[in-house]
Amino acid sequence: MSIVTYVINVQDDEQRPTGERADSGLAEGDVTSLIGAARILPVVVLADPAGARPLADALIAGGLRTAEVTFRTAAAADAIAAMAANPGMLVGAGTVLTVDQVDRAVDAGARFVVSPGFGPAVVRRCQQLSVPVFPGVSSATEIQMALDAGLETVKFFPAEQLGGIGMVAALAAPFRSVRFIPTGGVNTANLADYLSNPAVLAVGGTWMVAPRLLDTGDWAEVTRLTRAAVDAARAITAP
Ligand code: 3PG
């Protein structure tokens, strides 16, 4: 599927029935473009996969069509499958620490993989499967490891604790081709600091999908927080 087809699917999804699995196989550049266009990557920790479908609907209602569903719960693969069944969503797997989790994520329909750190085996497996992978980095050395592996888009984690946008800017200076997805301590109040730096592709975080909202099924609040985040991101990216 080309990126044009995918974007048309995304734009038309409200008219489409749910439960229809879009085909996978988006190239890394396409996935990167879609995440960069969305500017925000919700980091989802779902305890109950039954929440996956209403969560996808709540995110879309708030104006977001991206999600990183983390392997921090046993529900991860089922949740990925349920969210990826929504043709309007671009769903990836997060907190992927092992090759087995890569395989389970891809089998479930994940279109990209995110790790908190740089794991060579995870990166290699993703590359074998032609699945875009965004490993986490926290230092210049880890960025060079990503570059050596042929990757130019990385998660920067944990962003606020590492020094926030100041650290991103310092790391971006020598690594001109690298784009960052800062995650960890990012929220609607500070996302503009990150997104106004051209080295930042998007920001990630849990703030609009906090586990307590998912556990209680407070989808209206997920939509409200998502809309606020999207509006804040649009305000700084508008020409
Ligand atoms: C992640 O795994 O990306 C982080 O736990 C998200 O951090 P946050 O909860 O501070 O947004």
The residue behind tokens 């990925």 is 80
Lookup: tokens for 67: 């999600």
Nearest CA to ligand 1 atom 3: 183
Domains and CATH numbers, the chain: 3-232 (3.20.20.70)
Query: Around Cβ 32, how many Cβ atoms within 10 Å?
Result: 20
Render each residue's pLDDT in the chain as its tens digit; 239 residues: 445 444 444 444 433 333 333 345 688 889 999 999 999 999 999 999 999 999 999 999 999 999 999 999 999 999 999 999 999 999 999 999 999 999 999 999 999 999 999 999 999 999 999 999 999 999 999 999 999 999 999 999 999 999 999 999 999 999 999 999 999 999 999 999 999 999 999 999 999 999 999 999 999 999 999 999 999 999 985 55
DSSP 8-state code for residue 73: S
* Residue 137, amino acid: V
Which of 157, 181, 203, 209 maximizes ligand 1 atoms within 8 Å of its Cβ, making it the mutation to test the pocket?
157
pTM given for the model: 0.90
Q: Which of 68, 142, 152, 160 is catalytic?
A: 68
